[in-house]
Amino acid sequence: MIRRLLVKELTELRRDGRVLGSLAILLLLALGAGFSAWQQARVQHAAWHAASDGEHERWLGQEAKHPHSAAHYGVYAFRPPGPLAAFDPGLEPYLPVTVWMEAHRQNEALYRPAADTGAAGRFAALTPAAIFGALLPLLVLLLAAPLISGERERGTLRQLLAQGVPPQRIVVGKGLALAVLLVALLLPPWLLVCAVLLIGGADGDVLLRWTLLAVMGVLFLGGVALLCLLVSACCRQTRTALLLLLGIWATGTLLAPRVVMEWAEIRHPTPSALEFRQAIDAGLADGRLRDERIEARAESLLRQHGVDDLADLPVNFDAVRLQEGEEHGNRVFDAVFGRLHDGYLAQERWLQGAGWVAPFLAFTALSSGLAGSDLLHYRHFVDSAEAHRRMIQRAMNDAIYSQPETDGERFMAAPELWATIPPFEYQPLAIGDVMRFYGVGWAALLAWFVIPLLALLRVSRRLAP
Amino acid sequence: MKAPRFSRAVFLGEWRLLWRDPAAWVVLGVLTAALLGALWQGLAREQAVASSLAELAQADADRMEAAADLAQWLADTEGGISRFRDPRSADVVGRRLGVQHLALPPTALSALAVGQSDLYPAWHPVSLESRDRLQAEGELTHPRQLAVGRFDLSFVVVFVAPLLLLGLLASVPARERETGMLPWVVVQGGGLGSWLLGRVLLRWLLVLLPTLLCGVLAVLLQAMALAAAGDGQTVVRGLLWAAQVTGYLAFWAALALWVGTLPLDGARSALALAFAWLLFVVLIPAVTQVVLDLAHPQPSRMAYVDAMRDATDLARAEGSEALVRYLEDHPELAGDAVDADDFFAQRLLVQERVEAELAPLSAAFEAQRAARARQAAWLRLTSPALLTMDGLADAAGTGEPRHRHFMAQVHGFHSEWRAFFAPRVLSGERFLDHDRVPGFGYEQEPLRLLMPRSSWLLTATAGFTVLFGWLALRRWRSLPKVLGHV
Amino acid sequence: MTEAALELIGLRKRFGDHEALTGLDLKVPGGTCYALLGPNGAGKTTTLNILLGFIAADAGTARVDGVDVLAEPARARTRIAYIPEQVQLYPRLSGFENLEYFHGLGSREDTAARRLRDCLRQAGLDEAAWDRRVAGYSKGMRQKVGIAIALARRAPVMLLDEPTSGLDPQAAWELNNSLRSLAEQGVTMLMATHDLFRAREVASRIGILVNGRLQQEIDPAEVAGPELEARYLQEVQRVLGVQA
């Protein structure tokens, strides 16, 4: 019986010109957005490659110089686009693309692409993720709203029930029809991307991310479809169902992100650039601990080598001063940058938490997380770059340490020293860490799937004609 | 269409209909809540910016005063200090102690629209450092907040208000058509056009007036907070802002008027309006962005940095700036062997050389950006939402043009600063002109620049309004179609 | 007999393949009530729509109170009051407020509330209901407000589309009384209806419209109820039967 109901629903959907028209428009938009996103990701990737390679070559090409001069010359780290940024560029346009790693200072990352985009870029971007998360639910809403309330309005529901069809089956038939349509719509592009990833030699991590995106998409869109069916089952008129669902869509998709982010900002305020820089300057200026440590090191080295003057040490004490200076800076940077990024991530958690109220928010957070274009990945990049910077500083200072300056002659390191520093190769965050961070988002999406499902089953048992 | 002619009875009737319509109260409630939320957000934001700017200005002044005092003390006592920290060194003052934070002062309207002000910082530190550094420093805003946009009055005007207005207008006159009341209205003889226009106007005013009122309130509160009510531009900017809001909502009213003349029932008419909203506010702006990205790809900052590093290396090969930086950071390591003034001079020359090398690169980047911006300006013509978003920010003074105007002054001042300090650095003389360093006076963007831009945006929005008004008028002329008989 | 207040000559109207009016000739003298009887699709509503200027006739002439409807539809409408089959009012306004509103649509000047109340009284609406919201009105009560609105217009011609459909016998009887009193005041009425019984009671002349043409005119005073029904059915079967 369900099969018959399913076939009837699918036939109706197929013969509805509006359904086909909307699908065609959506498909066209998705194609345009997908192509544009892919093109951009490709260009960004190429630029990232060229710039990263160029930077490493420049580092290697340094002439013989004092290692600390090389530390001051520094290296730029470039942020690669997220592994699936072509699907969801997420925060990419608003995240700085490069950070200069030099001696003494953890610099702020520079150049947000959006600053060069112009005001029009501030409207919602047409990305595959946006089409999936915002526009497809709108289509589902238009399709699903009249499914049950329409039958009720026309009086056909009364006829069906009078024929002895169990109400649950009617609802299941409708739900299945919707599911079949959505799967038919989404499975081919998903498989296509799988094929492209496989041919392009993507690693298991990327494929896993893509699969998890699909699971998340099923939960989200399934939840949306179930909610629409539930509203349709409860409304006497299609018009009421439509208006109610449109209201929910507009609130959840349009209003909620801004309201929630404003709220998040109140709960976890981002410092102004001025406060942030002042905090760093103040931290760096307070060098008491550094000076104490330098003094202690000096004493212990003098004792160890049995000499009275630092100049008589068989090692270069300047390196100790430099490294202690680094350690001092690192403590300040860990605290101040840590506070900034902790605040950022707390806001992201807040956004996920708001997913309990508006599932679109959980979708947005998770989608950018799995695509690798979120703050979690950005912070990981910044931390990785900082770790690399500290590694360079330590290596340079170690080189100085072993070369005591005699007769006022400055030590000049040979270019071989530069080759001991590996290029900065950013490894995206492990998927396990991503999943851990987004646990709340997953739970919220799951709830948004299960609760409407249970409610629909309950309502369908006593479906009023 | 005949000129509207209404008796008091009709006004009273329309007013009663609106007053007793729960939907109108819902709309008014949601609108008021949204407006007040946005107002509070805007005022709080501007308050924070204003206090930041005041703090910076004070810090600049204090630092400079301390430097002058120290210089005087050193001169009086002939005390010793490292040349790298000596306030009598032109380089030390021009590069660090004298740093001036140039601020783009908020206007009395800046609480009305965030515009691009969350992306571009409201201040830039000017010193002897290279010009490139000016552009790099940005305000800290949560990237997600930048991505989703702020809940400001512009958002309420561009996104929320039309939705509420359309919600009120979706059943005008679909409900009358559905119930068969429309022919009756026609027979009563007031003229369907004026009847419909009157009904739409009343609902339009219900959304427009609170919005304008909120704008006025925001300006008053902001002016009080800034104590800058004397600004002669406030009235003009305020009028432009109000004109943008009025024009934009008029466009939506005209569109609803046209949809109202189509033979649609209530549900279809609501759907048609919802789709129109989606089209103009979401889809078209998003599609124009895709078109821009494909036609004028954004210049890559990574490529820029890559090229910049090459250019810098080239220039540095002739000097040894790295060594200077090293010494600057470690004056205790410099000893007597190093003549600081020589290094300062050398660094300045290297820096100028680097800037010269970078100039064509920056120009090319800027040209690419400008080409994209020109294209984007044309593409705004595809949607009143795009036009209005820009118009509101421009009127409030938080748009890109005012920031560019400010940046031009920043660059000008940077050159002035350089021109003042460079000869003193190169000569290596003791610097005692602490009270003669150039000061920055911000010049308002003249209205003659703002007016044509705003008028153009307003005209384009009005074009959309006229188009839909004309379409509606054409259909009114063929009455049976309006009545849905054919 | 007074001069015709409503005059239709050779009126034709075609919708695609279907010819709704095939040369309708009709004259309604001033101050009389004319009932247009006919089966579904006979052209009754089309005739009313042409008179109201909602659709244009393909050929022929239509005059309302001497004004050519086809040439000056808006001016002709000022001579007409119209009561649709379903009198729809704004449910959140009271009966009086509805009257005030609808009347206001057509008049530039404000009409004294007293005169409007007189119209409600004349239409037979219970005074207790005047200031109650229309949402709680019965169909008959709404019909009465519709008549009051028509009365307030002081139009010489009144068009009624199925005025008794869906009314209970008491309400229909009351409506007939109101219509009769209107005719006595000199209002010319054209009523499209299926209701033979009511038509015979209130109309001074009955026209049987089949296939877009007036087939027969009957003076109700001359025929008894059953005979009117027999003649109507005979006429319909004759025309439609011939066609079949």
ipTM: 0.90
Nearest-CB residue to A68 (from B141, B283, B326): B326
Contact of C154 with chain B, judged by CB distance below 8 Å, is answered with no
| Predicted local distance difference test score (pLDDT) of residue B1 | 41
| Of A406 and A177, the one with more pLDDT | A177
Q: How confident is the model at residue B2 (pLDDT cuts 50, 70, 90)?
A: very low
List all residues of chain B from 397 to 436 with a beta carbon under 8 Å from chain A.
399-400
* Residue pointed to by tokens 């999943």: A435
| Of B201 and B11, the one with more pLDDT | B201
Task: Determine, for residues B188 and C105 on separate chains, whether the beta-carbon distance falls below 8 Å.
Answer: yes
C173 shares a domain with C72: yes
Q: Positive or negative CA dihedral for B112, B113, B118, B121?
A: negative
Residues on chain C touching B17 (C-beta within 8 angstroms): 90, 92-93, 101
Query: Is-contact B88 B381, C-beta < 8 A?
Result: no
Structure tokens at B79: 């005390």
Helices (H), chain C: 44-51, 73-77, 95-106, 113-123, 139-153, 169-184, 196-202, 225-243
User: Closest Cα partner for A343 from A277, A264, A278?
Assistant: A264
| Domain residue limits, chain B | 8-300+369-483
User: Closest Cα partner for A77 from A378, A376, A385, A380?
Assistant: A385
Task: Determine, for residues C100 and B9 on separate chains, whether the beta-carbon distance falls below 8 Å.
Answer: yes
Residues on chain C touching B21 (C-beta within 8 angstroms): 92
CB within 8 Å of A167: residues ≥ 6 apart: A161, A460, A461, A462, A463
Structure tokens at A292: 């104490």
Q: Whole-angstrom Cα distance, residue B406 to residue B403? A: 5
Tell me the three state secondary structure of residue C27: strand
User: Closest Cα partner for B327 from A215, C101, A156, A103?
Assistant: A103
Structure tokens at C124: 């037979």
Q: Whole-angstrom Cα distance, residue A87 to residue A289? A: 48
Phi, psi of A184 (to 5 degrees): -60, -30
Task: Determine, for residues B149 and A122 on separate chains, whether the beta-carbon distance falls below 8 Å.
Answer: yes
Contact of B333 with chain C, judged by CB distance below 8 Å, is answered with no
Q: From C157, which residue of chain B is nearest by alpha-carbon distance?
A: B187
Please report how the helices B340-379 and B400-427 are oriented relative to each other, as an axis angle in degrees rounded to 10.
160
Task: Determine, for residues A258 and B150 on separate chains, whether the beta-carbon distance falls below 8 Å.
Answer: yes
User: Closest Cα partner for B383 from B278, B256, B284, B241?
Assistant: B284
C41 shares a domain with C90: no
Question: In this model, does residue B95 exceed pLDDT 70?
Answer: yes
Neighbour subunits, B (≥3 Cβ pairs < 8 A): A, C
Q: From B50, which residue of chain A is nearest by alpha-carbon distance?
A: A272
Q: How confident is the model at residue B485 (pLDDT cuts 50, 70, 90)?
A: low
**If you average pLDDT over residues A177-189, what whole number do you get?**
87
From the number of C-beta atoms within 10 Å of its C-beta (0-12, 13-18, 19+), residue A267 rates as exposed
Angle at CA of residue C154, ends C151 and C158, nearest 5° = 70
Chain B / chain C CB contacts < 8 angstroms = 94
Question: In this model, does residue B3 exceed pLDDT 50?
Answer: no
Residue A300: how many other CB atoms lie within 10 Å:
10
C199 shares a domain with C105: no
Contact of B384 with chain A, judged by CB distance below 8 Å, is answered with no
Q: Whole-angstrom Cα distance, residue B11 to residue B190? A: 13
Residues on chain B touching C93 (C-beta within 8 angstroms): 13, 16-17, 20
Q: Residue B392 half-sphere exposure, CB side, CA atoms within 13 Å?
A: 28
Question: In this model, does residue B331 exceed pLDDT 60?
Answer: no
Residues on chain C touching B12 (C-beta within 8 angstroms): 100-101, 104
**If you average pLDDT over residues A334-346, what whole number do you get?**
94
From the number of C-beta atoms within 10 Å of its C-beta (0-12, 13-18, 19+), residue B473 rates as middle
Distance from the Cα of residue A340 to its chain's centroid: 17
Q: Whole-angstrom Cα distance, residue A56 to residue A449? A: 49
Phi, psi of B194 (to 5 degrees): -70, -35
Q: Whole-angstrom Cα distance, residue A309 to residue C143? A: 114
Task: Determine, for residues C84 and B184 on separate chains, whether the beta-carbon distance falls below 8 Å.
Answer: yes
Nearest-CB residue to A51 (from B139, B282, B306): B306
Question: In this model, does residue A27 exceed pLDDT 50?
Answer: yes
Q: Whole-angstrom Cα distance, residue C122 to residue C147? A: 9
Tell me the pTM.
0.88
| Domain termination site, one of C121, C154, C187 | C154
Residue B481: how many other CB atoms lie within 10 Å:
15
Contact of B394 with chain A, judged by CB distance below 8 Å, is answered with no
Nearest-CB residue to C105 (from B195, B480, B483): B195
Structure tokens at A237: 């008129």
pLDDT in tens, A193-251: 889 888 888 888 899 999 999 999 999 999 999 999 999 999 888 888 888 898 899 99
Test mutation, C105, C131, C133, C149, chain B, max B CBs within 10 A = C105
Nearest-CB residue to C93 (from B13, B185, B188): B13
From the number of C-beta atoms within 10 Å of its C-beta (0-12, 13-18, 19+), residue B130 rates as middle
Contact of C70 with chain B, judged by CB distance below 8 Å, is answered with no
Which DSSP symbol is given to B35?
H
β partners of residue C188:
C157
Nearest-CB residue to A242 (from B55, B271, B325): B271
Residue B76: how many other CB atoms lie within 10 Å:
8
| Predicted local distance difference test score (pLDDT) of residue A389 | 94
pLDDT in tens, B170-191: 888 888 888 878 888 888 876 7
Query: Is-contact A463 A157, C-beta < 8 A?
Result: yes
Of chain A, the percentage scoring pLDDT greater than 90 comes to 43
Test mutation, C78, C79, C101, chain B, max B CBs within 10 A = C101
> In Å, how far is C161's CA from the nearest CA of chain B?
11
List all residues of chain A from 336 to 355 with a beta carbon under 8 Å from chain B.
340, 344, 347-348, 351
CB within 8 Å of B357: residues ≥ 6 apart: B311, B312, B314, B315
Contact of B10 with chain A, judged by CB distance below 8 Å, is answered with no
Q: Which domain holds residue C140?
A: 86-154
C211 shares a domain with C182: yes
Nearest-CB residue to B285 (from A94, A123, A348): A123
Which H or E element spans position C9?
Answer: strand C4-15
Task: Determine, for residues C101 and B12 on separate chains, whether the beta-carbon distance falls below 8 Å.
Answer: yes
User: Closest Cα partner for A261 from A342, A368, A340, A350?
Assistant: A350
For chain A, how many structural domains are there in total?
1
β partners of residue B101:
B125
Task: Determine, for residues B181 and C78 on separate chains, whether the beta-carbon distance falls below 8 Å.
Answer: no
First-to-final CA distance of chain A:
19
Amino acid at B109: L
Most confident of A270-284, A374-388, B281-295: A374-388
Query: Is-contact B99 B226, C-beta < 8 A?
Result: no
Q: Which domain holds residue A436?
A: 2-461
Question: In this model, does residue B4 exceed pLDDT 50?
Answer: no
- Point out the least confidently predicted range of A106-115, B55-64, C235-244: C235-244
- Residues in chain B, overall count: 486
Nearest-CB residue to B189 (from C90, C92, C105): C105
Structure tokens at C212: 């877009």
| Predicted local distance difference test score (pLDDT) of residue B205 | 94
- Residues in chain A, overall count: 465
- Touch between chain B and chain A (3+ CB pairs, < 8 Å)? yes
User: Closest Cα partner for C15 from C48, C56, C44?
Assistant: C56
Task: Give the largest Cα separation in chain C, rounded.
Answer: 57
**If you average pLDDT over residues B283-309, what whole number do you get?**
86
> In Å, how far is C31's CA from the nearest CA of chain B?
20
Residues on chain B touching C80 (C-beta within 8 angstroms): 187
| Predicted local distance difference test score (pLDDT) of residue C72 | 87
Q: How confident is the model at residue A406 (pLDDT cuts 50, 70, 90)?
A: low
Which DSSP symbol is given to A92?
G
* Residue pointed to by tokens 């350690």: A327
Mean pLDDT, chain B, as a whole number?
84
Residues on chain B touching A265 (C-beta within 8 angstroms): 142, 145
Nearest-CB residue to B151 (from A118, A138, A259): A259
Nearest-CB residue to C92 (from B21, B184, B480): B21
Contact of C223 with chain B, judged by CB distance below 8 Å, is answered with no
Mean pLDDT, chain A, as a whole number?
88
Distance from the Cα of residue A161 to its chain's centroid: 48
- Helices and strands (DSSP H and E) totals, chain C: 8, 10
**If you average pLDDT over residues B246-250, what whole number do you get?**
96
Q: Whole-angstrom Cα distance, residue A95 to residue A375? A: 8
In angstroms, the Cα distances linking A123 to A130, A364, A463, B387 are 12, 16, 42, 12
Task: Determine, for residues A112 and B299 on separate chains, whether the beta-carbon distance falls below 8 Å.
Answer: no
Task: Determine, for residues B389 and A73 on separate chains, whether the beta-carbon distance falls below 8 Å.
Answer: no
C134 shares a domain with C112: yes
CB within 8 Å of B77: residues ≥ 6 apart: none
pLDDT in tens, A51-83: 999 999 999 988 888 888 889 888 999 999 888
Low-confidence stretches of chain C (pLDDT < 50) are: 1-2, 243-244
Question: In this model, does residue B330 exceed pLDDT 60?
Answer: no
Residue C163: how many other CB atoms lie within 10 Å:
28
Nearest-CB residue to B479 (from C54, C87, C153): C54
